[in-house]
Protein backbone atom coordinates (compact mmCIF):
# COMPACT_ATOMS: atom_id res chain seq x y z
CA UNK A 1 0.00 0.00 0.00
CA UNK A 2 1.22 3.48 -0.86
CA UNK A 3 1.46 6.51 1.43
CA UNK A 4 1.44 4.55 4.70
CA UNK A 5 3.47 6.16 7.46
CA UNK A 6 2.33 4.29 10.56
CA UNK A 7 1.15 0.79 11.44
CA UNK A 8 -0.94 0.73 14.60
CA UNK A 9 -1.94 -2.43 16.46
CA UNK A 10 -4.66 -3.15 18.96
CA UNK A 11 -3.18 -5.14 21.85
CA UNK A 12 -5.75 -7.43 23.46
CA UNK A 13 -6.90 -10.22 21.17
CA UNK A 14 -4.72 -8.93 18.33
CA UNK A 15 -1.15 -9.16 19.63
CA UNK A 16 -1.87 -10.91 22.93
CA UNK A 17 -4.13 -13.89 23.62
CA UNK A 18 -6.76 -12.70 26.12
CA UNK A 19 -7.69 -16.32 26.93
CA UNK A 20 -4.16 -17.32 27.88
CA UNK A 21 -4.58 -16.36 31.56
CA UNK A 22 -7.50 -18.75 32.06
CA UNK A 23 -5.89 -21.39 29.86
CA UNK A 24 -2.86 -21.51 32.16
CA UNK A 25 -5.28 -22.32 35.00
CA UNK A 26 -7.36 -24.89 33.12
CA UNK A 27 -6.18 -27.75 35.34
CA UNK A 28 -7.82 -25.93 38.27
CA UNK A 29 -10.84 -24.47 36.46
CA UNK A 30 -11.63 -27.61 34.48
CA UNK A 31 -13.43 -28.02 31.16
CA UNK A 32 -15.33 -24.76 31.61
CA UNK A 33 -12.12 -22.67 31.39
CA UNK A 34 -12.72 -21.54 27.79
CA UNK A 35 -16.35 -20.54 28.34
CA UNK A 36 -15.24 -18.71 31.47
CA UNK A 37 -12.45 -16.90 29.57
CA UNK A 38 -14.84 -15.83 26.81
CA UNK A 39 -17.40 -14.60 29.35
CA UNK A 40 -14.74 -12.62 31.21
CA UNK A 41 -13.63 -10.97 27.96
CA UNK A 42 -17.17 -10.18 26.83
CA UNK A 43 -18.07 -8.69 30.20
CA UNK A 44 -14.85 -6.66 30.21
CA UNK A 45 -15.69 -5.14 26.81
CA UNK A 46 -19.30 -4.48 27.76
CA UNK A 47 -18.13 -2.57 30.83
CA UNK A 48 -15.84 -0.35 28.71
CA UNK A 49 -18.70 0.55 26.38
CA UNK A 50 -21.24 1.07 29.17
CA UNK A 51 -18.89 3.23 31.24
CA UNK A 52 -18.09 5.33 28.18
CA UNK A 53 -21.79 5.86 27.49
CA UNK A 54 -22.53 6.68 31.13
CA UNK A 55 -19.47 8.96 31.50
CA UNK A 56 -18.43 6.84 34.50
CA UNK A 57 -14.82 6.13 33.60
CA UNK A 58 -12.71 3.53 35.34
CA UNK A 59 -9.38 2.47 33.94
CA UNK A 60 -8.99 -0.82 32.09
CA UNK A 61 -7.37 -2.63 34.99
CA UNK A 62 -10.22 -1.76 37.33
CA UNK A 63 -12.68 -2.95 34.69
CA UNK A 64 -10.69 -6.16 34.26
CA UNK A 65 -11.03 -6.79 38.00
CA UNK A 66 -14.75 -5.96 38.04
CA UNK A 67 -15.49 -8.19 35.07
CA UNK A 68 -13.44 -11.03 36.58
CA UNK A 69 -15.41 -10.81 39.83
CA UNK A 70 -18.69 -11.18 37.96
CA UNK A 71 -17.32 -14.02 35.80
CA UNK A 72 -16.02 -15.97 38.79
CA UNK A 73 -19.45 -15.76 40.42
CA UNK A 74 -21.14 -16.82 37.19
CA UNK A 75 -18.90 -19.89 36.77
CA UNK A 76 -18.57 -20.65 40.50
CA UNK A 77 -14.78 -20.37 40.54
CA UNK A 78 -13.15 -20.25 43.95
CA UNK A 79 -12.19 -16.78 45.22
CA UNK A 80 -8.64 -17.89 46.02
CA UNK A 81 -7.94 -18.01 42.26
CA UNK A 82 -8.61 -14.30 41.77
CA UNK A 83 -5.05 -13.09 42.39
CA UNK A 84 -3.54 -15.80 40.21
CA UNK A 85 -5.80 -14.98 37.27
CA UNK A 86 -5.11 -11.26 37.57
CA UNK A 87 -1.35 -11.81 37.78
CA UNK A 88 -1.49 -13.97 34.65
CA UNK A 89 -3.51 -11.32 32.83
CA UNK A 90 -0.61 -8.92 33.27
CA UNK A 91 1.64 -11.27 31.28
CA UNK A 92 -0.70 -12.56 28.56
CA UNK A 93 1.03 -14.62 25.89
CA UNK A 94 1.54 -13.14 22.41
CA UNK A 95 0.22 -15.09 19.44
CA UNK A 96 2.91 -17.28 17.83
CA UNK A 97 3.63 -15.12 14.77
CA UNK A 98 3.56 -11.72 16.46
CA UNK A 99 7.21 -11.19 17.40
CA UNK A 100 8.65 -12.25 14.05
CA UNK A 101 6.14 -10.14 12.12
CA UNK A 102 6.94 -7.06 14.22
CA UNK A 103 10.67 -7.62 13.77
CA UNK A 104 10.26 -7.64 10.00
CA UNK A 105 8.05 -4.55 10.04
CA UNK A 106 10.59 -2.78 12.22
CA UNK A 107 13.05 -2.99 9.32
CA UNK A 108 10.70 -0.95 7.15
CA UNK A 109 10.26 2.81 7.34
CA UNK A 110 7.04 2.93 9.38
CA UNK A 111 6.11 4.09 12.84
CA UNK A 112 5.03 0.97 14.76
CA UNK A 113 2.72 1.48 17.73
CA UNK A 114 0.06 0.01 19.98
CA UNK A 115 -3.29 1.78 20.48
CA UNK A 116 -5.13 0.11 23.34
CA UNK A 117 -7.77 0.37 26.04
CA UNK A 118 -5.10 -0.77 28.51
CA UNK A 119 -3.46 1.53 31.03
CA UNK A 120 0.10 2.71 30.26
CA UNK A 121 1.58 0.69 33.14
CA UNK A 122 -0.31 -2.45 32.17
CA UNK A 123 0.73 -2.21 28.52
CA UNK A 124 4.35 -1.45 29.36
CA UNK A 125 4.54 -4.44 31.69
CA UNK A 126 2.93 -6.66 29.06
CA UNK A 127 5.42 -5.81 26.32
CA UNK A 128 8.41 -5.85 28.68
CA UNK A 129 7.57 -9.27 30.14
CA UNK A 130 7.25 -10.64 26.60
CA UNK A 131 10.55 -9.01 25.51
CA UNK A 132 8.83 -6.80 22.89
CA UNK A 133 9.60 -3.30 24.15
CA UNK A 134 12.12 -2.55 21.39
CA UNK A 135 9.60 -3.44 18.67
CA UNK A 136 7.37 -0.38 19.19
CA UNK A 137 7.95 3.33 18.68
CA UNK A 138 5.00 4.22 20.91
CA UNK A 139 2.40 2.66 23.16
CA UNK A 140 -0.78 4.75 23.13
CA UNK A 141 -3.41 4.32 25.85
CA UNK A 142 -6.99 5.57 25.91
CA UNK A 143 -6.16 7.06 29.31
CA UNK A 144 -4.85 10.07 27.36
CA UNK A 145 -8.45 10.98 26.52
CA UNK A 146 -10.38 9.21 29.30
CA UNK A 147 -12.82 7.28 27.11
CA UNK A 148 -12.66 3.80 25.59
CA UNK A 149 -12.70 2.63 22.00
CA UNK A 150 -14.52 2.98 19.67
CA UNK A 151 -14.61 6.71 20.48
CA UNK A 152 -13.09 8.81 17.70
CA UNK A 153 -11.08 10.63 20.41
CA UNK A 154 -9.03 7.45 20.83
CA UNK A 155 -8.26 6.94 17.14
CA UNK A 156 -7.18 10.57 16.90
CA UNK A 157 -4.30 10.07 19.38
CA UNK A 158 -1.66 8.79 16.90
CA UNK A 159 -2.83 11.24 14.20
CA UNK A 160 -2.01 14.12 16.55
CA UNK A 161 1.24 12.58 17.80
CA UNK A 162 2.67 11.79 14.35
CA UNK A 163 1.12 14.81 12.57
CA UNK A 164 -0.09 12.61 9.73
CA UNK A 165 -3.38 12.04 7.91
CA UNK A 166 -5.83 9.34 8.99
CA UNK A 167 -5.39 7.67 5.60
CA UNK A 168 -1.66 7.27 6.21
CA UNK A 169 -2.32 4.84 9.06
CA UNK A 170 -2.82 1.07 8.80
CA UNK A 171 -4.74 -0.19 11.81
CA UNK A 172 -4.93 -3.86 12.78
CA UNK A 173 -7.34 -5.45 15.23
CA UNK A 174 -9.01 -8.80 15.70
CA UNK A 175 -12.06 -7.07 17.20
CA UNK A 176 -14.71 -6.28 14.59
CA UNK A 177 -16.12 -3.36 16.59
CA UNK A 178 -12.61 -1.88 16.83
CA UNK A 179 -12.08 -2.21 13.08
CA UNK A 180 -15.46 -0.57 12.49
CA UNK A 181 -14.52 2.25 14.85
CA UNK A 182 -11.13 2.83 13.25
CA UNK A 183 -12.50 2.47 9.73
CA UNK A 184 -15.32 4.93 10.24
CA UNK A 185 -12.75 7.32 11.71
CA UNK A 186 -10.71 7.09 8.51
CA UNK A 187 -7.98 4.48 9.08
CA UNK A 188 -7.02 1.81 6.55
CA UNK A 189 -8.16 -1.18 8.58
CA UNK A 190 -6.89 -4.76 8.47
CA UNK A 191 -9.14 -7.22 10.27
CA UNK A 192 -7.18 -10.08 11.87
CA UNK A 193 -9.87 -12.76 11.75
CA UNK A 194 -8.20 -15.41 13.90
CA UNK A 195 -11.43 -17.26 14.68
CA UNK A 196 -13.12 -17.40 11.26
CA UNK A 197 -15.73 -14.94 12.50
CA UNK A 198 -18.37 -12.87 10.64
CA UNK A 199 -17.89 -9.12 10.36
CA UNK A 200 -20.33 -6.63 11.90
CA UNK A 201 -22.81 -4.46 9.98
CA UNK A 202 -21.56 -1.08 11.21
CA UNK A 203 -21.14 0.97 8.00
CA UNK A 204 -17.59 -0.17 7.32
CA UNK A 205 -15.87 -3.05 5.55
CA UNK A 206 -12.18 -3.70 6.29
CA UNK A 207 -9.64 -3.05 3.54
CA UNK A 208 -8.15 -6.49 4.13
CA UNK A 209 -9.03 -9.61 6.09
CA UNK A 210 -6.11 -11.61 7.49
CA UNK A 211 -5.95 -14.96 9.26
CA UNK A 212 -2.89 -13.85 11.22
CA UNK A 213 -0.30 -11.08 11.21
CA UNK A 214 2.05 -12.97 8.88
CA UNK A 215 -0.25 -12.13 5.98
CA UNK A 216 0.35 -8.43 6.55
CA UNK A 217 3.91 -8.81 5.25
CA UNK A 218 2.58 -9.77 1.80
CA UNK A 219 0.55 -6.55 1.61
CA UNK A 220 2.69 -3.85 3.22
- Residue numbers annotated as active site: 10
Residue 142's CB is within 10 A of a number of other CB atoms, namely 23
E strand or H helix at 192: strand 188-192
Largest CA distance in the chain: 53
Please report, for residues 53, 68, 98, 117, 220, the alpha-carbon distance to residue 215 in angstroms, rounded to integers and kept in the order given: 35, 33, 11, 25, 9
Helix 33-54 vs helix 60-74: angle between axes, to the nearest 10 degrees? 130
Amino acid sequence: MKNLKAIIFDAYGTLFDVNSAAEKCKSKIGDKWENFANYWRTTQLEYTWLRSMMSRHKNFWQITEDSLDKSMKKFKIQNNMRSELLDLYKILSPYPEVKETLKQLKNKNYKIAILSNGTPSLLNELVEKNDMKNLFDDIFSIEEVGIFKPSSKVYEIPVIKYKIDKGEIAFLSSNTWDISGGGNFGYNCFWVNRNNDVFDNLDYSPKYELKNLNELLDII
